Structure 1
Amino acid sequence: MTSTGWNRTSTDWSVADRLTPNLLVQAYSRGLFPMAETRDDSQLFWVDPDERGVLPLEGFHVPKRLRKTVRQDRFKVTADVAFDEVIRHCGELNFTRGRFDSWINSEIVRAYGELFRLGLAHSVECWSEGRLVGGLYGVALRAAFFGESMFSIETDASKVALVHLVARLRAGGYRLLDSQFVNDHLKQFGVEAVPRHAFMVRLNEALAAEGDFEAAGPRIEGERALDLVLRGP
């Protein structure tokens, strides 16, 4: 166990000095993901949790008040418009993976920006009066999506982004939405704690299928997003 409380992997995958797209694809395909102890720490380590957080794509729960917010289109929601801004905000305003101090260091920002430019990472953004006020980003491999981090400047912005992400994944035929860990914030959406072996079975099934992040089009209105989440494509 590390000071962050997460399990590191065996020595073969313990430390990474530089993240390449090929290395990241290999790692995610094996159920691993990188973290830094803090945003200022240059060293990275690979994480392989005993239990994995998985958000259900079928049966994803949207609280009643949040449904109203999504339906009213309080935020303009886009996808892949401001990836670099989203990951930067996540690094500055991060409270995911059960910690206040960000694990997103400069190497993660650089490497995931490269993944984005290769079409292997995506972002969902929420805007208010032209200002980015919330969003999330993650890695997409075939029909698996690995949620990395989210942020909110305005109330419910990250939650709205998550609903829109699930809508996109449902429309695109994705099989798995990995949240990596279970936390109180995600419990309202029905997150499951899945043992490592069972998670790998689900991951391999998703990697054998095809997902299309752009299937829903460039923008989804709130009413349609809710319909995709609650009733499916």
Structure 2
Amino acid sequence: MSHTARPWRLDPRPDAPFPPADTALREPDGLLAIGGDLSPVRLLNAYAAGIFPWFSAGQPLLWWSPDPRMVFRTDAVHLSARFRRSLRGSAWTLRADTCFEAVIAACAASPRPGQDGTWITAQMRQAYVQLHRLGHAHSVEVFDGGTLVGGIYGVAIGRMFFGESMFSAASGGSKVALAGLARRLAQWGWPLIDAQVENDHLLRMGAEHWPRSRFLQQVHALVRQEAPAGSWCERFGEMPAAALAGAEPADGRG
């Protein structure tokens, strides 16, 4: 497919291959394919190839692989010095996979600047809940006592985590969820979180622009690495938000 062509129309078979991600359109940036479905096999094949679905209600299914790609290194997520100080006395706690459906519902309900409605449609929610039940999609949740105040969810393949969305029901909830996820992934030896597309909030937290070619090279290697068995709920355990108040990573930002 040339860069001036229309997006590729996917074969209706769920296991049909995607076109190469580097053949995506330049305008709109990263649009690669149209159609298909949100079956687990197609979603997993897409993520493993550096591709993700993103569309609004009433649109056909659209599949993307933008260039550049927004990526977090798990050892370089940035929390400001002021915010870290505020966490020192925090009673918040983080857990994983204890209320995935509540997290995705909260993400769908969160207003987004410049967006009318949500791209997390009922169809998308159903698809990712199914992935979660199959052990491929995970959430990290932030609690104030028994109240959910923030969270993030995404898809894990091998040792690669593909972030999908996050939310705050209290100030800083999404920052804590992302930082806690990154802390655990770094401890587990997972180096990257895919952040998909640019926004100012992600940049302030340390997201980097990577050329698509570099991103794809890393993804192709990481999704083939074996991840330890066991539930995320047990492996993640319970993390106090105050544990995230320590020194910044070695990149020197304060």
TM bracket, shorter-chain basis: 0.7 to 0.9
Distance in 1 (alpha carbons) for counterparts of 2:103 and 2:189:
24
Is 1:91 equivalent to 2:95 in the alignment? no
Distance in 2 (alpha carbons) for counterparts of 1:189 and 1:165:
13
Q: Contact 2:138 / 2:154 at 8 angstroms: preserved in 1?
A: yes
Corresponding residue number in structure 1 for 2:239:
220
Residue 125 of structure 1: how far off its partner (Å): 1.1
Corresponding residue number in structure 1 for 2:63:
46
Corresponding residue number in structure 1 for 2:181:
165
Is 1:195 equivalent to 2:214 in the alignment? no
Residue 230 of structure 1: how far off its partner (Å): 3.7
The alpha-carbon distance between structure 1 residues 8 and 222, as it changes in their structure 2 partners (threshold 3 A), is: same
Distance in 1 (alpha carbons) for counterparts of 2:139 and 2:86:
20
Match of 1:122 among 138, 142, 158: 138
Match of 2:129 among 103, 113, 123: 113
**What amino acid sits opposite 2:198 in the alignment?**
V
1:10-21 mapped onto 2 (5 Å cutoff): 13-16=33-36, 18-21=37-40
- TM-score, structure 1 length as denominator? 0.85
The alpha-carbon distance between structure 1 residues 70 and 147, as it changes in their structure 2 partners (threshold 3 A), is: farther
Match of 1:135 among 148, 151, 155: 151
Aligned to 2:127, the other structure's residue is in SS state helix
The alpha-carbon distance between structure 1 residues 91 and 155, as it changes in their structure 2 partners (threshold 3 A), is: same
Residue 94 of structure 1: how far off its partner (Å): 4.4
Residue 205 of structure 1: how far off its partner (Å): 2.3
- TM-score, structure 2 length as denominator? 0.78
Aligned to 2:107, the other structure's residue is in SS state helix
Residue 209 of structure 1: how far off its partner (Å): 2.4
Distance in 1 (alpha carbons) for counterparts of 2:174 and 2:136:
21
Corresponding residue number in structure 2 for 1:66:
83
Q: What value does the CA root-mean-square deviation take over the aligned residues?
A: 2.6
Q: Contact 1:172 / 1:215 at 8 angstroms: preserved in 2?
A: no
Residue 173 of structure 1: how far off its partner (Å): 1.2
Higher Cα Rg, which structure: 2
Is 1:29 equivalent to 2:52 in the alignment? no
Residue 26 of structure 1: how far off its partner (Å): 0.4
> Gaps spanning 5+ residues in structure 2: where?
1-6, 8-24
Q: Contact 2:92 / 2:241 at 8 angstroms: preserved in 1?
A: no
May I ask how many residue pairs the two structures share in their alignment?
223
The alpha-carbon distance between structure 1 residues 164 and 100, as it changes in their structure 2 partners (threshold 3 A), is: farther
Q: Contact 2:137 / 2:156 at 8 angstroms: preserved in 1?
A: yes
Q: Contact 2:160 / 2:190 at 8 angstroms: preserved in 1?
A: yes
Q: Contact 2:73 / 2:191 at 8 angstroms: preserved in 1?
A: no
Residue 75 of structure 1: how far off its partner (Å): 2.0
Distance in 2 (alpha carbons) for counterparts of 1:87 and 1:30:
23
Aligned to 1:159, the other structure's residue is in SS state helix
Distance in 1 (alpha carbons) for counterparts of 2:62 and 2:139:
23
Of residues 210-219 and 143-152 in structure 1, the stretch that sits farther from structure 2 once superposed is 210-219
Question: Taking every aligned residue pair, what percent have the same amino acid on both sides?
Answer: 35
Q: Contact 1:52 / 1:179 at 8 angstroms: preserved in 2?
A: yes
The alpha-carbon distance between structure 1 residues 147 and 41, as it changes in their structure 2 partners (threshold 3 A), is: same
